[in-house]
Structure 1
């Protein structure tokens, strides 16, 4: 009985193999010649081996999570205008005539007298940078007594075919430049433009002040400009461009939007406001201090945290520390900071900071092109002199063309096209492509398709039905026997 069932199972399997849509197995079973069977067996083994190799490679490609980058330009009807932040390179307005401005004058003179060896100017300017940051942190509650007021700096303002004024600017305190002012920084009301060109952009004419040999402790003077997304905070340590007096600078802006794939393709962060998106403490602290995550800000914070671990103090910075007691002193702390900063780039700590500060999945970058012209013309300078004399009670002390030219500048920020470049990551191999590879290689090498797999289940089902049939036959025979 058992022999009969096994022979019937064998018959079912052989019949299904002979009628199979795959090519190798039917020919092995169907041919009676040993040589032909051997030939088809070898062919099947070689083909199956190549198929296994191709499928293994395809799976490796899929699970390596490689990406391809696509770049395309998208033209739109409107585009968000960037936030424009400007600062005076003269951090302190020493003409305010109050106790703090007089104290600043005295401090500047003392620092200048301390420079006995003119060949050590690099060390001297490092001390100037430290001293200004330290004093601005120390007197941060009174900095308005020496900061450059926007009403004094802003001579003229136009945006998108309309006039603008000081009320359109938001105050921003920089640890290097002191008082800075931001246009289009209100996140709830971001301004947009629908036309390219200078008239649709932002045009500023600024008064910078006059260089003074007694108090100048700077290498250059003019304005410092930041062009950035409204959601980011400009950093005076590595952002921005310098603008010189006596010139009109045209800045042509083009916008690039970067979009990366998140896990498993990369460790980039999607939610830039959530402290739960990444595990490192410096990542979480970046969001707590600055309100939103940005990788380069996180790396900079990691650097300052590393300074604290090494030196026991922070380099003075308005955004990182609030208490002057945490700042490095002028003796040991300042020297420790300089030694650490000089070796940071080549240290293990630098690479650790990269690991602690992931990339953003989405980011915006503004690409800038520049051109310059002399500013102002003699006749235009006359307007400044007349206006300052009659309206502003000679606030800026304009009296001649050369006097105006050395203390003023103009800048125009505008788009050359209303659109943006999208740089987007796509998966090199998707799940659909992996399935297509599996079907393609199995069909090419062995002739197997989805229906070929169904043939296996067909054989299994037939065998199960055979057992049920034999069992029923056995029960019927048993009843007949008992009846007789």
Structure 2
């Protein structure tokens, strides 16, 4: 029995030595095959040095991979038919010449309180209080589509082709708590709520020309300036995700736009989150609320909703950024103090970052539009307070910022393979040799006796 055990051990040693001598790596075979003691010592020393360097560099590559660093690529891309952005138009004044009843009610207030710094928020609060927060009534105070937006025109004063628009088909009403009735051109939905496909520009049509009628009741013209506000924002996004552009009557305003697309890598490569345009992706109530308002998700809007909710937990009123008629506006200085105090508390304690940012994922992909605005005088018939706005793509080239992994899995494996091959001369097949040796040793260890083993070898 002891003889059989010794025989098995000898066979195992023999197989190990045979595998080491025939290994595709360079160091170990030469250690075993060197007959000269000095040569053997040299091979041992340099094999240890090479193994140490190999291990260090492989570890460094793994650490660099775990840093999740990115490289950014900027490229200019030609788009044959780019999606035209959504454009929201608002009269700069909440109430217009068509709001006769509220003028008669509030005109004495304007006369008594007017000074050089008449508070717009105070006026809006009076309007809301007067209307008893009735949305239908508030909408009647502002412009209708045809009151603010004039008929389409083919006449363009720029050397680029311009498209026509249909007032009823291409404009959707949007109520803003600050400006009142606004109208979004190229919205993601119709007034009845059904989805619509975006308008596109092309080589034959670069943009649109809009005529804005900026009329105001004569009595209030001394207190308010006639103006319009324009938001140029990504198709399907919330209008106030873009910066406002002010439009004055009697002017032709040219707005040349350029599109920029940014694509960031999701966590862990950055702090943005994957697939935020999917309303079912995250369970946050604020995330879902944003998707109820717009097609495109924006973290800024989500955080704003979260902030307003935190304020309303502690205060009875607030001038919400989002139309919400379950919330009433603050009507006196005492009530106004509460939101301000809560705001200061949230800011000082960094509560917004810990509470809201955690519930509002950051989008990885978004589109922005840079604008070049130029104006000149524009005369309309009968000296009507009319503006003409030309919004168009400067050209059909867009800028793309795209992030890619600095070290991805294939690159990491290639680096490890290159380092191992350089210092030890090993490859994937060298690891196959190790697996093959383990299988062979297990086969020897599990063999019942040497005779069976020999028969198996003969049969093989």
User: Which TM class, normalised by the smaller chain length?
Assistant: 0.7 to 0.9
The alpha-carbon deviation at position 289 of structure 1 amounts to 4.6
Q: RMSD of the alignment, in Å?
A: 3.1
Distance 1:364 1:435, change over 3 A: same
CA change 1:209–1:3 in 2 (3 A) is: same
Q: Name stretches of at least 5 consecutive residues in structure 1 with no aligned partner.
A: 386-402, 478-484
Compared with structure 1, are the counterparts of its residues 434 and 131 closer, same or farther at alpha carbon in structure 2 (3 Å cutoff)? farther
In the alignment, what sits opposite 2:230? 225
Aligned to 1:19: 22
Give the TM-score normalised by structure 1. Answer: 0.80
Contact map agreement 1:79 1:193 (CA 8 A) in 2 = yes
Q: Distance in 1 between matches of 2:276 and 2:335?
A: 37
Q: 1:231 aligns to what SS in structure 2?
A: coil
Matches within 5 A, 1:15-414: 15-94=18-97, 96=98, 101-114=100-113, 118=115, 121=117, 124-132=119-127, 138-158=133-153, 161-167=162-168, 168-185=170-187, 186=189, 187-195=195-203, 200-210=206-216, 214=220, 217-218=223-224, 220-235=225-240, 239-266=243-270, 267-275=272-280, 277-290=281-294, 293-317=297-321, 319=323, 321-323=324-326, 326-341=328-343, 345=347, 347-352=349-354, 353-376=356-379, 381=380, 384-385=381-382, 403-404=383-384, 407-414=385-392
Task: For 1:65 and 1:105, locate their aligned partners in 2 and report how far apart those are by CA, in whole Å.
Answer: 64
User: Aligned pair in 2 of structure 1 residues 408, 79: CA closer, same or farther (>3 Å)?
Assistant: same
Count of residues in Structure 1 that have an aligned counterpart in Structure 2? 437
Report if the CA contact (8 A) 1:101-1:145 is conserved: no
Q: Is the 8 A contact 1:256 1:420 kept in 2?
A: yes
| Compared CA separation, residues 90 and 469, structure 1 to 2 (3 A) | closer
Is this contact kept in 1: 2:96–2:216, CA < 8 A? no
1:190 counterpart SS class: coil
Confirm or deny: 8 A CA contact 1:273 1:291 kept in the other structure: no
Distance 1:9 1:451 in 2: 22
- Alpha-carbon distance between aligned partners in 2 of 1:25 and 1:445, rounded to the nearest angstrom: 12
User: In the aligned structure 1, how far is the partner of 2:171 from the partner of 2:432?
Assistant: 71
Closer, same or farther: CA 41–125 of 1 in aligned 2, 3 Å: same
Deviation string, structure 1 residues 68-117 (Cα, Å, up to 9, x no partner): 222222212212111211111022113x3xxx6333443243145135xx
Cα distance in 1 for residues equivalent to 2:445 and 2:350: 70
**Whole-Å Cα distance in 2 between the matches of residues 474 and 193 of structure 1?**
81
Contact 1:254 1:420 in 2 (8 A): yes
For 1:431, the equivalent position in structure 2 comes to 409
CA shift for structure 1 position 201: 1.2
Task: Report the Cα offset of residue 190 of structure 1.
Answer: 1.8
